[in-house]
Structure 1
Amino acid sequence: MTTMYGIPNCDTIKKAKKWLEANDIAFQFHDYRKDGVDADWLEQAAEALGWENLLNKRGTTYRQLSEEQKAGMDQTKALALLREYPAMIKRPVLEHNSSLHLGFKPGQYEDIFS
């Protein structure tokens, strides 16, 4: 089973979904905003991908955090913020064959599904 995690209005999510559909790959979509973010899943994702990689510092949500919220960022603080503000999780996170993959590039997905 393949699961894509993200938010539906994200351009990168739209491109990744289109690629999966064009390549006839069945997948389930997990919408962070509707379905929430499970603490255990987030811990596993941080372990597999690195919490620094999961934290999207370029997005609007991160930029709107106070300096106090951004100060002294570590894994514990980052994961708490990602649970509270799931739009800050880089997208998409793709779970395929019990492995997690971050981001979308056509070549990357070709390698994952070959």
Structure 2
Amino acid sequence: MIVYGIPNCNTVKKSLDWLKANHIDFEFHDFKKKGITAEKLNDWCNTFGWETVLNRKGLTWKKLTKEEQSKIDNQDLAIEYLINNTSAIKRPIVEKNGEAILMGFDDDKYQQTLI
């Protein structure tokens, strides 16, 4: 299992703490250090929807002008933006056996999906 995110994100921290507390082995992929591929983003967008993968609540997105935000109106443009602005990816994303199964952190969903 791989958990994708950035280490200073509170939601990622909650996820990692939950996994450790439940003795679930995982590998952590830090977007900031390792980056992310367009192929991986495309997979996640196809699973969760590009509008969900693009975190519009975060500071990275809010720093854009309304005009810049309005130009990101499809999956291809969202992926192009996210490759260069990994902090704008909704996180964490959890993959098991190469398939994205969870996004964000919800105790109940983690419990249902991973235990």
TM-score above 0.5: yes
The whole-number CA distance in structure 2 between the counterparts of 1:74 and 1:106 is: 31
How far apart, CA to CA, are the structure 2 residues paired with 1:50 and 1:3? Answer: 20
The count of aligned residue pairs is 113
Q: Which residues of 2 match residues 30-45 of structure 1 at below 5 A?
A: 30-45=29-44
User: What corresponds to 2:87 in structure 1?
Assistant: 87
Aligned residue number for residue 103 of structure 1: 104
Q: State how far apart, in whole Å, the 1-side matches of 2:22 and 2:65 are.
A: 42
**Unpaired segments ≥5 residues, structure 1:** none
Instruction: Write out per-residue CA displacement over residues 76-102 of structure 1, whole angstroms, 9 at most, x where no aligned residue.
Output: 111111111010001110002343111
Give the Cα–Cα distance (whole angstroms) in 2 for the partners of residues 69 and 96 of structure 1: 34
Name the CA distance, whole Å, in 1 between partners of 2:83 and 2:40: 10
Q: CA deviation at 1:112?
A: 1.1
RMSD: 1.1
Q: Which residue of 2 aligns with 1:78?
A: 78
- Write the distance in 2 (CA, Å) between the matches of 1:71 and 1:52: 12
Match of 2:4, SS state, is strand
1:68 matched to 2:67? The reply is: yes
Q: CA deviation at 1:49?
A: 0.9
SS at match of 1:57: coil
Residues 24-66 of structure 1 show CA distances to partners (whole Å, capped at 9, x for unaligned) of 0000000001000111111111111110000111111001113
TM-score for the superposition, normalised by structure 1: 0.93
Q: Secondary structure at the match of 1:71?
A: helix
**Percentage identity across paired residues of the two chains:** 38
Unaligned runs of 5+ in 2: none
Does residue 24 of structure 2 align to residue 25 of structure 1? yes
